[in-house]
């Protein structure tokens, strides 16, 4: 049984084994959309880990003791399950396969991201519920894979499952391992304007450095509104960016203060806005529904880091 698959071996039909994030990255990679290379530790690896270490019954018992109206019961269950998973060894055949897949990537740093098998569905958008570990090296790769498995059982994730009425539903977790992009600029894009819900407009947000600066809300990014019909830029909102996030030589993310003159600059040129808009429209057309993407630009080339359905639009 294979416990890992390269993005090229996955498609949008593989949510049950690769999770929403993993299946989406595989689909885009195979469709010619510029996605940094990577692989997915399939949900079967997590399930075998649980079974081989005989902790599945204990996990179920911890969840059965949860009363979602009493926060301490959620925290107790989370603490017990964390200890169960983190204290057990990963089966040797799984760890060897993950390590071999990492070495084939030929990357010093990778992003290790959780990808729940019910993630990003219309009913249960798991985005933001599970964990990611950036700048991971070979040394901490296996530990961070286990941390992603554990993140299926954080207090927030457990509460979310109960809130959505799926505590008993089988939800497993895959793990995406993807070559890190050292972005000079990064951001998000929505193929439908998320505020006005105008289907003829898309919006791009952009900042300097790594995208976590925007996702975490640490900076106010530029925003550009584009007409999807003729690619005309309808609005440019240029905000002052006071800092940017970058990876240092030790693999840690560090903030860098931006000189005012640089911080006032438009992050993307009009030509780049048009290029990225075409990419967003292509992804939307491929999937057939509105999408929310994360992107990065390294060495003047755009990469799509992930794509998911926009779940906040009215019917």
Q: How confident is the model at residue 214, as a pLDDT?
A: 83
Same domain, 172 and 190: no
Same domain, 147 and 233: no
Greatest mean pLDDT range, 26-35, 167-176, 205-214 = 26-35
- Among 179, 199, 224, where does a domain finish? 179
- Give the pLDDT confidence of 107-157 residue by residue, as tens digits: 999 999 998 886 444 334 444 556 788 899 999 999 999 999 998 898 988
Same domain, 195 and 157: no
Owning domain of residue 149: 4-179
Same domain, 15 and 132: yes
**Cα–Cα distance between 100 and 133 in angstroms, integer?**
19
Q: Which residue has the tokens 């498609």?
A: 11
Same domain, 277 and 304: yes
79 domain-assigned: yes
| Helix/strand/coil for 160 | helix
pTM above 0.85, yes or no: no
Long-range contacts at 6-12 (CB < 8 A, ≥ 24 apart): 6/37, 6/38, 6/39, 6/101, 6/104, 7/35, 7/37, 7/38, 7/39, 7/40, 10/40, 12/287
122 vs 259, residue with greater confidence: 259
Question: Which helix H or strand E contains 253, and what residues bound it?
Answer: strand 253-257
- Among 155, 179, 203, where does a domain finish? 179
> Sorting pLDDT into bands at 50, 70 and 90, what band is 164?
confident
Q: How confident is the model at residue 171, as a pLDDT?
A: 73
**Cα–Cα distance between 45 and 87 in angstroms, integer?**
17
315 domain-assigned: no
- Give the pLDDT confidence of 54-103 residue by residue, as tens digits: 898 899 899 999 998 899 999 999 999 999 999 999 999 999 999 999 99
What average pLDDT score do residues 29-42 get? 95
**Cα–Cα distance between 301 and 35 in angstroms, integer?**
11
- Give the pLDDT confidence of 97-118 residue by residue, as tens digits: 999 999 999 999 999 999 888 6
Q: Which residue has the tokens 């240092």?
A: 248
Same domain, 300 and 255: yes
- Give the pLDDT confidence of 269-302 residue by residue, as tens digits: 999 999 999 999 999 999 899 999 999 999 999 9
- Give the pLDDT confidence of 226-235 residue by residue, as tens digits: 999 999 999 9
Q: How confident is the model at residue 315, as a pLDDT?
A: 55
How many C-beta atoms lie closer than 10 Å to residue 26's C-beta? 26
Same domain, 26 and 166: yes
Q: How confident is the model at residue 123, as a pLDDT?
A: 38
Same domain, 288 and 249: yes
């Amino acid at each position: 049984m294979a416990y890992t698959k390269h993005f090229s071996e996955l498609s949008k039909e593989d949510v049950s084994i690769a999770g929403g994030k993993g299946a989406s990255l595989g689909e885009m990679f195979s469709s010619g959309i510029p996605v940094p290379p990577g692989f997915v530790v399939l949900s079967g690896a997590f399930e075998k880990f649980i079974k081989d270490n005989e902790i599945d019954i204990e996990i179920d018992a911890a969840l059965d003791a949860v009363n979602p109206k009493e926060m301490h019961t959620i925290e107790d269950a989370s603490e017990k399950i964390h200890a169960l998973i983190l204290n057990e060894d990963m089966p040797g055949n799984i760890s060897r396969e993950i390590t071999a897949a990492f070495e084939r990537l030929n990357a010093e740093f990778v992003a290790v991201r959780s990808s729940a098998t019910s993630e990003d569905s219309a009913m249960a958008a798991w985005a933001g519920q599970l964990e990611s570990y950036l700048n991971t090296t070979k040394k901490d790769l296996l530990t961070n894979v286990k941390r992603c498995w554990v993140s299926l059982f954080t207090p927030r994730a457990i509460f979310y499952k109960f809130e959505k009425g799926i505590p008993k539903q089988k939800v497993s977790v895959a793990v995406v391992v993807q070559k890190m992009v050292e972005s000079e600029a990064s951001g998000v894009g929505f193929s439908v304007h998320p505020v006005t819900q105008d289907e003829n407009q898309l919006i791009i947000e952009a900042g300097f450095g790594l995208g976590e600066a925007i996702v975490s809300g640490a900076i106010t990014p530029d925003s550009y509104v584009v007409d999807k019909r003729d690619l005309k830029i309808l609005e440019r909102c240029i905000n002052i960016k006071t800092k940017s996030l970058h990876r240092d030589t030790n693999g840690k993310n560090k903030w860098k203060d931006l000189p005012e003159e640089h911080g006032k600059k438009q992050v993307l040129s009009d030509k780049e806005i048009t290029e990225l808009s075409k990419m967003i429209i292509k992804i939307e057309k491929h999937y057939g529904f509105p999408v929310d993407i994360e992107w990065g630009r390294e060495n003047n080339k755009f990469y799509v880091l992930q794509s998911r359905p926009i779940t906040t639009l009215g019917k």
